[in-house]
Amino acid sequence: MKIIHAKDYEDMSRKAANIISAQVILKPDCVLGLATGSTPIGAYHQLIKWYEKGDIDFSQVHTYNLDEYRGLSHDDVQSYHYFMRDNLFDHINIDQANTHVPDGSNLDAAAACGEYDRIVAAAGYPDLQLLGIGNNGHIGFNEPDDHFSAGTHCVDLTESTIQANSRLFEKEEDVPRQAYTMGTQTIMYARMILVVANGEKKAQAVRDMCYGPVTPSCPASILQLHTNCVLVADEAALSLCPAE
C-alpha cells in the first residue's frame, strides 16, 4: 500500500482530488466508485472547483456508489443518493443517468443487492474506487465480522457506526439500522483503490489497515492484498503508524 502524507484535511482533500482528476483526464469514460461520509467532501468540492475552471470534464464518466441506507428513497435528504447530488453531481456536467447508488427504497434486500451486483459487473468494475475508513475499520458498510463479504448485501449497522453517523441526523434514533453495501470482494475488483482518512479518531483503524494482520475484524485490512492501493491521510490519522 502506498501512503501519501498530507498536512491536514485540506491538503488531504486536494491530493485525493488530484488522483481522481488524473483518472478522469487519462480515461474520460472511466468508471468511478464513490464514497459518502464527511471525509471525501473536501475532495468532491475541489473537483467541482476544477470543473468550474474548465480543467476537468465529467460528461462521459460513470459512477457507482458503495452503499445506501435501507428504507430511504433517493429524494430523502438523508439518503446517500441525495448526498452525492448535493456534494458533487448537481455541480458538474455528469450525466445523471450515469450515476448509480444502491436502491434503498427497495426493501427486498435480495433483489436490490442482486441488481446492484449485476450493473456493477456489467460496467466492468471501477477503474478507481474511492474509500473512507470507519473508526472500527469498516469500508463501505462492511462492518467487522468473522469473514470477508463477497457481493452487495444488507448489513446491520454496529452501534459505533450508528453513533458516528448520528451527527447527520436530528436524533440518533433517526439513523437507519440497516444498509445495502458493496462487499469487500467487489471492492477488491477495482483496478485502483484510493483511501482517504483524517483525524486522530481514525488513527487506530488506519494503523490496523496498513500494518495489522489481514482479518475481517478490520475489514479495511484486506486492502493490503490489493496490487494498487493508495492511502492519502493527514498527520493525525497517521499518528500511530511507524515513521517512514
Supply the residues annotated as catalytic: 67, 136, 138, 143
For cell 493525525, name the residue.
Answer: 236
CA distances from 119 to 55, 67, 74, 151, 189 (A): 29, 14, 18, 12, 14
Grid cell of 183 as nine digits? 462487499
Contact 112, 71 (CB under 8 A): no
> Count of CB atoms within 10 A of residue 184's CB?
23
CA distances from 82 to 30, 100, 115, 122, 238 (A): 22, 12, 20, 24, 31
